[in-house]
Amino acid sequence: MAEHIEYTNCLLCGSKGNNKIGDFNFCGSVLALVECERCAFAFVSPRLSAQGMNRFFQTYTHLTNDKIEFYRINKLNNVRFDLRLLNRALSPGRLLDLGFGYGLFMQHALKSGWNAIGLEISTGACRYARAALGLRVVNADFSRIPFRKAAFDAVTLFDSLYYNHDPITLLRQINQTLKPGGVIILRVHNRIGAIKWVHGINRNLDSNPFFIKDHIYQFSSRTISALLEKCGYKVSGIYNSRIPYFKGQIASYIIWNGLLCLFDLVRFVSGGLIVLGPSITIIATKMDGAAVDE
Ligand SMILES: [Zn+2]
């Protein structure tokens, strides 16, 4: 077995046993999506090692101005929605945006009165954020967050937790950087029943349009809540994230927004329990006396 490939147990329950959903090719290796036989959490094993994923991410930045504008515009709906959730939970204070990408959320948070700083693995994205946007940013990976304990009122982590090899260590580190009563907001893809069903039928993941190859974990509202509780947080709400707008794709945008209205209705009628959107935004609070140094 190549040295950049590794096997892993279930992140949530530690079980070694899993059932394979399907194989796929990624960065020259054959990897597999599996589901824990005890708790049904879905993840990639074997997967690329952290070094293998880091190499992939350094080539993953799209730093022509057109590409940056494309990615910034398509996140605008999400940024406005997630910032509203944050502002409803807390009045502005110190904010850390982990994996800020092209800096759109930080820019909007600053306008809203937050004192924001960002941490990002991509050197190119940091250069852009400093030079073009004038943002305060640190270029580092997430293995050791370089801020003192209880430094922040809020931490945001959008569209990145499923790339991280060790989300438990990361979430516990974030917990330590939060003040008592501090808030974390995350956005992750949602492994809803329909996607699970499509993966079950189409086990050839290379040709499966609903399968995203660089995500090493596939969270759902149930599994992300379990993970956050394990790391010292209390989940206060899970919402359907807004639909990104991909320039020129008006028809699919209208259809997805129609579905989103339906998903929001289902969420409302179920008292927040059934969240069917393709991505979910989770807001959680640091628990008092959270034991985070296990
Ligand atoms: Zn498990």
Phi and psi, residue 153, nearest 5°:
-85, -30
Residues around ion ligand 1, judged by CB within 5 A, are 10, 12-13, 15, 36, 38-39, 41
Give the Å distance between the CA of 12 and the centre of ligand 1. Answer: 5
Q: Which of 290, 49, 282 is nearest to 172 (CA)?
A: 290
For residue 1, what pLDDT is reported?
46
CA angle 35, 203, 14 (to 5 degrees): 10
Look at residue 72 in the predicted model and tell me its pLDDT: 80
On the question of pLDDT at 86 being above 80, the answer is yes
pLDDT of residue 281: 97
Burial 214-237 (b: 16+ CB within 10 A, else e): ebbbbbbbebbbbbbebbbbebee
Average pLDDT over residues 55-79: 78
Instruction: Name residue, tokens 């400093």.
Output: 130
Report CA(170)–ligand 1 centroid distance (Å): 19
Q: Where are the alpha helices (DSSP H) in the chain?
A: 50-58, 65-74, 76-89, 104-111, 123-131, 167-177, 193-201, 221-230, 250-269
All structural domains of the chain: 5-286 (3.40.50.150)
Checking if the pLDDT of 6 tops 90, the result is yes
Question: How far, in Å, is the centroid of ligand 1 from the Cα of 57?
Answer: 27
At 292 the pLDDT is 46
pLDDT given at position 294:
42
| CA gyration radius, the chain | 19
| 35 Cα to the center of ligand 1, angstroms | 8
CA 68 to ligand 1 centroid distance, Å: 38
Mean pLDDT of the chain: 90
pLDDT at 202 over 90: no
**Rounded to 5 degrees, what are φ and ψ at 207?**
-110, 10
- In this predicted model, which residue has the larger pLDDT, 204 or 87? 87
**Which pLDDT score is estimated for 65?**
76
Is residue 207 within 8 Å of residue 25, measured between CB atoms? no
For residue 75, give the 3-state DSSP assignment.
Answer: coil
Distance (Å) from CA 279 to ligand 1 centroid: 22
User: Long-range CB contacts (< 8 A, 24+ apart) of 15-23?
Assistant: 15/39, 18/45, 21/199, 21/200, 21/203, 21/205, 22/199, 22/202, 22/203, 22/204, 22/205, 22/208, 22/211, 23/205
Distance in Å, CA 120 to ligand 1 centroid? 30
pTM here is 0.91
Cα distances from 55 to residues 30, 51, 103, 229, in angstroms, run 17, 6, 22, 31
Ligand 1 centre and the CA of 74: distance in Å?
34
Residues in the chain: 294
- At residue 195, the pLDDT reads 80
